């Protein structure tokens, strides 16, 4: 009997260590979105997780971006930007190349002061990013449309998942929530001044399996 007690003690001791280990490690790594099985997604490594956020390093890669499109609500600007970027993948580039669609699509928001001096309301504008088809990453074709731009994002990113529909409200709310989670962690300072985006992995209509992330991209 004594030997069983001892084994139990050791086992419980080990369990305790494991539980403490998990607690101190914070959350678990997010599951790869199902979309990434049929579409190519940019590759990354998880370097840390704390609370409900994940810190990643991405392979350096090109994204094709729309201009910022002013709009009081996200959808019209998002639809317009989507068509502009889709056009680039559908041959509107200096090689007439057809690029595969990819995931996720990033949204960045900017606020411009209204020109009318009576109301200094900040008007939102929205910019979309498509991850360039990996087959073209080494040497992406240039867009024919002058207002589209190829860009590279900083290597580090901090991400927080959410399932709400991506719109003008959730974009701000989820980026604020991410900043709240970052607060007090060792990533707060490096991520400060990073580029805030929302990443959408699913079609807006696909409510049941929606996966989105607030992501701040930063240099470390």
Assigned token pair, 191:
């991520």
**Nearer residue to ligand NAG within complex by CB, 11 or 83:** 83
Note if the bond before 86 is cis, omega within 30 degrees.
no
Tell me how far, at minimum, the Cβ of 171 lies from ligand NAG, in Å: 17
Q: In what helix (H) or strand (E) does residue 77 lie, and over which residues does it extend? A: helix 74-89
For residue 180, state whether it binds ligand NAG (rule: CB under 6 A): yes
Q: Among 84, 128, 132, 198, which residue sits at the site for ligand NAG (rule: CB under 6 A)? A: 84
In the block, which residue shows the tokens 């470390």?
220
For residue 83, state whether it binds ligand NAG (rule: CB under 6 A): yes
Tell me how far, at minimum, the Cβ of 147 lies from ligand NAG, in Å: 9
4 phi and psi angles, rounded to 5 deg: -65, -40
Tell me how far, at minimum, the Cβ of 143 lies from ligand NAG, in Å: 9
What gap in Å lies between CA 25 and CA 60, rounded to an integer? Answer: 27
For residue 144, state whether it binds ligand NAG (rule: CB under 6 A): yes
Question: Which one of 3-11, 85-93, 151-159, 192-200 is the stretch in contact with ligand NAG (CB under 6 A)?
Answer: 85-93
What gap in Å lies between CA 193 and CA 179, rounded to an integer? Answer: 11
**Nearer residue to ligand NAG within complex by CB, 76 or 184:** 184
For residue 91, state whether it binds ligand NAG (rule: CB under 6 A): yes
For residue 40, state whether it binds ligand NAG (rule: CB under 6 A): yes
């Amino acid at each position: 009997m004594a030997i069983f007690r001892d084994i139990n003690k050791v086992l419980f001791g080990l369990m305790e260590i494991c539980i403490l280990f998990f607690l101190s490690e914070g959350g678990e790594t997010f599951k790869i979105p199902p979309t990434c099985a049929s579409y190519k997604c940019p590759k990354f490594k998880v370097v840390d997780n704390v609370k409900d956020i994940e810190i990643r390093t991405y392979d350096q890669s090109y994204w094709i971006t729309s201009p910022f499109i002013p709009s009081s609500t996200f959808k019209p600007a998002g639809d317009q930007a989507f068509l502009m970027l889709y056009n680039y993948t559908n041959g509107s580039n200096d090689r007439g190349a057809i690029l595969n669609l990819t995931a996720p699509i990033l949204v960045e928001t900017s606020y411009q002061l209204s020109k009318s001096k009576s109301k200094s309301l900040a008007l939102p504008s929205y910019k979309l990013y498509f991850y360039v088809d990996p087959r073209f990453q080494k040497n992406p074709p240039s867009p024919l449309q002058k207002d589209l731009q190829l860009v590279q994002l900083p290597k580090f990113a901090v991400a927080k998942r959410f399932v709400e529909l991506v719109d003008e409200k959730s974009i701000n709310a989820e980026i604020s929530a991410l900043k709240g989670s970052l607060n007090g962690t060792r990533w707060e300072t490096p991520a400060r001044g990073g580029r805030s985006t929302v990443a959408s992995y699913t079609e807006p209509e696909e409510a049941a399996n929606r996966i989105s992330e607030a992501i701040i991209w930063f240099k470390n």
